[in-house]
């Protein structure tokens, strides 16, 4: 990823730290399944790692990882002295001392040219039948100038994400859309308006009043579109 893209990504992640209810909603989709040694692919500045640790009392060690030098610096400052978090530099070969119990990522696969290989890596570093979770941006029609500036190769549909997970050798693959209100917001503000995600009154109102309602509605009704797609699957275990 280009240096300017790394800087922009970190700036946006830090801007969106106020979206507390949104992060809790996302974490609720996976925290019960991550086990004692989860691996997080592309951890950014570590905001989801912190949230995950708040909700899952079973975690003994969470491995956060990055290829971005800027993000690795932030992760080491934030977690370098933590006994419950390990910081992994993915620019180097990585083989865990103990196989992980889950493989999770938050808006990362779209940054990776060979996303199938990235998903397939879960089979090598995780125990058999480990939980796999990935949140990705949905719908190619929402591809915006911001997506391109931040280094997104693609946005996904349920079908394209399901196919890639299957090609990666994962099993029990399921995909659903998330945040149908965000679909309209992204289309208007990013796709048509050419803006960047940022903190402010709109985000605060959305996070405070809309997210709790959205979480409830989407737990009861499967909406056929959304700003994001969520993959859940299981690994087939490490290959010999």
Higher pLDDT, residue 199 or 205: 205
pTM of structure: 0.94
| DSSP per-residue string spanning the chain | --HHHHHHHHHHHHHGGG-HHHHHHHHHTTGGGS-SSEEEES-TTSHHHHHHHHH-TT-S-EEEEES-HHHHHHHHHHHTT-SSEEEEETTS----SS-EEEEEEES-GGG-S-HHHHHHHHHHHEEEEEEEEEEEEB-GGG--HHHHHTT----B-HHHHHHHHHHTT-EEEEEEEE-HHHHHHHIIIIIIT------SHHHHHIIIIIHHHHHHHHHHS--S--SEEEEEEE------
| Tens-place pLDDT, residues 5-24 | 777 777 666 656 889 999 99
Share of the chain above pLDDT 90, in %: 84
Round the average pLDDT of the chain to a whole number and report it.
Answer: 93
Mean pLDDT of 39-46: 96
* pLDDT score of 240 more than 70: no
Mean pLDDT of 20-47: 96
Mean pLDDT of 129-141: 98
CA distance 28 to 84: 20
Contact 40, 108 (CB under 8 A): no
Note the pLDDT of residue 81.
86
| Tens-place pLDDT, residues 137-169 | 999 999 999 999 999 999 999 999 999 999 999
**Where does the pLDDT of residue 200 fall: very low under 50, low under 70, confident under 90, or very high at 90 and above?**
confident
Mean pLDDT of 32-52: 96
CA distance 88 to 64: 6
Note the pLDDT of residue 239.
54
* pLDDT score of 177 more than 90: yes
SS (H, E, C) 182-235: HHHHHHHHHHHCCCCCCCCHHHHHHHHHHHHHHHHHHHHCCCCCCCEEEEEEEC
Mean pLDDT of 110-138: 97
Strands 85-89 and 62-66, by their bridges, are parallel
Note the pLDDT of residue 202.
85
Note the pLDDT of residue 130.
98
* pLDDT score of 2 more than 50: no
Contact 64, 87 (CB under 8 A): yes
* Among candidate residues 32, 235, 204, 3, the one with its CA nearest the CA of residue 125: 235
Note the pLDDT of residue 1.
47
The superfamily CATH assigns to domain 3-232 is Vaccinia Virus protein VP39 (3.40.50.150)
| Tens-place pLDDT, residues 80-103 | 888 899 999 999 999 999 999 999
Mean pLDDT of 175-182: 97
């Amino acid at each position: 990823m280009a240096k300017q893209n790394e800087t922009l990504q970190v700036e946006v992640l830090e801007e969106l730290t106020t979206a507390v209810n949104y992060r809790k909603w996302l974490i609720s989709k996976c925290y019960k399944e991550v086990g004692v040694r989860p691996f997080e692919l592309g951890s950014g500045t570590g905001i989801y790692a912190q949230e995950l640790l708040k909700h899952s009392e079973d975690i003994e060690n969470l491995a956060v990882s990055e290829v971005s030098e800027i993000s690795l610096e932030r992760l080491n400052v934030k977690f370098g002295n933590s006994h419950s978090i390990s910081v992994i530099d993915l620019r180097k070969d990585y083989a865990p001392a103990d196989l992980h119990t889950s493989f999770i990522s938050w808006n990362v696969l779209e940054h990776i040219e060979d996303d199938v290989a990235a998903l397939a890596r879960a089979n090598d570093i995780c125990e058999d039948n480990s939980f796999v979770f990935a949140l990705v941006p949905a719908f190619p029609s929402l591809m915006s100038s911001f997506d391109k500036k931040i280094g997104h190769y693609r946005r996904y549909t349920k079908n394209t994400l399901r196919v890639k997970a299957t090609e990666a050798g994962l099993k029990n693959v399921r995909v659903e859309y998330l945040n149908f209100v965000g679909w309209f917001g992204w289309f208007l503000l990013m796709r048509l308006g050419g803006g960047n995600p940022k903190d402010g009154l709109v985000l605060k109102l959305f996070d405070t009043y809309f997210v709790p309602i959205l979480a409830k509605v989407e737990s009861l009704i499967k909406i056929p579109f959304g700003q994001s797609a969520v993959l859940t699957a299981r690994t087939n275990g490490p290959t010999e």
